[in-house]
Structure 1
Amino acid sequence: MESGPLISFGLPLSLFIIMVGIGMTLTLRDFHQVTVNPRGMIVGSIAQILIMPLVALALAGALGLAPAIAVGLVIIAACPGGTTSNLFVLLARGNVALSILLTVSASLITIISLPFFTNYALGLYFGTSAEISLPVGKTIVMLVGVVLLPVALGMLVRTRAPALAIRAEKIVSLFGGVVLALLIVGLLYGIRDRIGELAAQAGLAALLLNLGGIVIGVVTSRMAGLSQRESLAVAMELGIKNGTIALMVTLTLLESSEMSIPAAVYGVLMFPIGFLLVTYGRKVIPALPKSLAEPA
């Protein structure tokens, strides 16, 4: 799946702007509450890092997937949530601070866990393994540049100019929704000639993995006593994956276009399903009171 300048440059820039806007909705108190009561972090991290790859292995066996497709499914399942998951959580009125912390922590843990599960799947289905290592420095730079820095800027704006932050919140939500819609159109256009083929090979597996992740996120969160907002954040982190990492592993490190098919299909399916989850969240979770005028 190739990406033109609009995607390779415009999307990161748009996400940076969106993350600044998300930062305007947060205070240090929000992050403090997550760390003081870490159940959401524990449940979300275990589900992302351990349960999702196991679900992928179970689906691959139950559906009788071809070896390359099965390995690709395990790879996308083992990937962390991406920056867009934070935006979806904001739109759905979930706990954005928890979502951001889960994105950061899972991305760092993935440096170790993703190669482990990838090699396990390769050994299981092909009887081989590969020397796979994710770029530590690049991952940290990405997290700082696309997540932490813009969020910190947004929080600073909220502290210094709370009235501006209040006005910007609706604009950011609208802008984020437009960006996501355009991204879906771009993804569909990019695979327009192979939609039928890709759906036949990995469509059902990718769909079940996505829905399974969302259900697991909601159920485990509620069993752990988390609130609706926290449960929605965990579910979104499990459903909205960083497909870029999966494509890097399959296309660059493993040099297998066939293994990349589940990531490509999942990357398309997760957006409309994410919007359905946003619709659900906005119906069941009331809007937060506007208390931005009080700096944290």
Structure 2
Amino acid sequence: MPPLVAAGLVIIAACPGGTTSNLIAYLARANVALSIVLTVIASLITIVTLPIFANLALGIWPVAGVGDIHVPVLRTIALLLALVLVPVLIGMAVRAVRPAIAHAMERAVSVFGGLVLAALIVVISVSLGDEFWEYLRSAGLPVILLNLGGLTVGFGVMALARASWADRVAGAVELGIKNATIGILIAVTVIGQPEMAVPSGVYGLLMYASAAAVIWYGRRHTRRLENRADEPT
């Protein structure tokens, strides 16, 4: 992969899930409460770890002919506080005070996030022009492997912990579904390299295919378990 794409892949790997992962966990009949807790914890950790991992990636894959590229840690933390921590705190407050409103807004927020992601992808493709397709080909397979690897690791860790089926699916969703919007904004607005945002944009699109598969399989498996429970002993 080109160095910028490799570094961009690290950025999206370091991004947490979001309201989309919680919605997918709900549709897949997973443990939604666990999904929300994991999202909050990952979001808080990301504020510190994402700029660190991004700078490590840029140190491993230096970009020739572009000059010294680094991620300003304090600026990135400030952006992540605005993009991650504040919405999470607002969401937790609304859910605690008005749970019915929070439940009703969940899908709308996820749809809005999808629209923002789509708009950002269009902006990236226009800014890169013909080079967008070259970067897309470079990032496609690694992004797919990252997505499938996250789903597998999340499910496997929960299985090793002897967690329930619903917990295993929640773990898979939290590692496989990323907040790609954050990755794009970090690459474009903080680092100033649209090429580095390509993996996040591709991930934001392809993850919905695996999410649909998880939802289908999760609901099917849950129905199977319910049918077994209803069978006379």
Report the TM-score range of the alignment, normalised by the length of the smaller protein. 0.7 to 0.9
**TM-score, length of structure 1 as denominator length:** 0.62
1:143 pairs with 2:88: yes
How many Å separate the matches in 1 of 2:116 and 2:155? 25
How many Å separate the matches in 1 of 2:45 and 2:116? 28
1:226 pairs with 2:226: no
The answer for the alignment partner of 1:132 in structure 2 is: 73
Amino acid aligned to 2:96: A
Q: 179, 189, 212: which is aligned to 1:252?
A: 189
1:108 pairs with 2:62: no
| Consecutive unaligned residues in structure 1, runs of 5 or more | 1-64, 159-168, 290-296
Q: Hey, which of these two has a bigger chunk of helix by percent?
A: 2
| Structure 1 counterpart SS, 2:196 | coil
CA separation of 1:67 and 1:105: change in aligned 2, threshold 3 A: same
Deviation track 1:239-283 (CA, whole Å, cap 9, x = no partner) reads: 110112111211111100110110010010011210110001000
The answer for the alignment partner of 2:177 in structure 1 is: 240
CA separation of 1:235 and 1:172: change in aligned 2, threshold 3 A: same
| Structure 2 counterpart SS, 1:93 | coil
1:261 pairs with 2:198: yes
Shift in Å, 1:198: 4.8
How many Å separate the matches in 2 of 1:185 and 1:251? 13
The question of whether the paired residues in 2 share the 8 Å contact of 1:79 and 1:243 is answered with yes
The question of whether the paired residues in 2 share the 8 Å contact of 1:188 and 1:268 is answered with no
- Runs of 4+ aligned structure 1 residues displaced above 2 Å come to 127-133, 149-155, 182-199, 286-289
How many Å separate the matches in 2 of 1:262 and 1:230? 28
The question of whether the paired residues in 2 share the 8 Å contact of 1:132 and 1:253 is answered with no
Amino acid aligned to 2:54: T
How many Å separate the matches in 1 of 2:120 and 2:53? 29
The question of whether the paired residues in 2 share the 8 Å contact of 1:78 and 1:117 is answered with yes
Q: 48, 51, 58: which is aligned to 1:122?
A: 58
Q: 23, 31, 38: which is aligned to 1:95?
A: 31
Q: How do residues 1-296 of structure 1 correspond to structure 2 at under 5 angstroms? A: 65-126=1-62, 129-133=70-74, 134-135=77-78, 137-138=81-82, 139-145=84-90, 147-155=91-99, 157=100, 179=111, 183=115, 186=118, 190=122, 196-286=133-223
Shift in Å, 1:72: 0.1
How many Å separate the matches in 1 of 2:59 and 2:14? 16
CA separation of 1:187 and 1:137: change in aligned 2, threshold 3 A: closer
| Structure 1 counterpart SS, 2:213 | helix
Amino acid aligned to 2:165: Q
Amino acid aligned to 2:89: V
CA separation of 1:287 and 1:141: change in aligned 2, threshold 3 A: farther
Shift in Å, 1:201: 2.1
Deviation track 1:85-125 (CA, whole Å, cap 9, x = no partner) reads: 00000000100001101111111111111111111101111
The question of whether the paired residues in 2 share the 8 Å contact of 1:184 and 1:271 is answered with no
Alpha-carbon RMSD:
3.5
The question of whether the paired residues in 1 share the 8 Å contact of 2:35 and 2:174 is answered with yes
The question of whether the paired residues in 2 share the 8 Å contact of 1:81 and 1:238 is answered with yes
Deviation track 1:21-54 (CA, whole Å, cap 9, x = no partner) reads: xxxxxxxxxxxxxxxxxxxxxxxxxxxxxxxxxx
Q: How many residues are paired up?
A: 212
Q: Percent identity?
A: 40
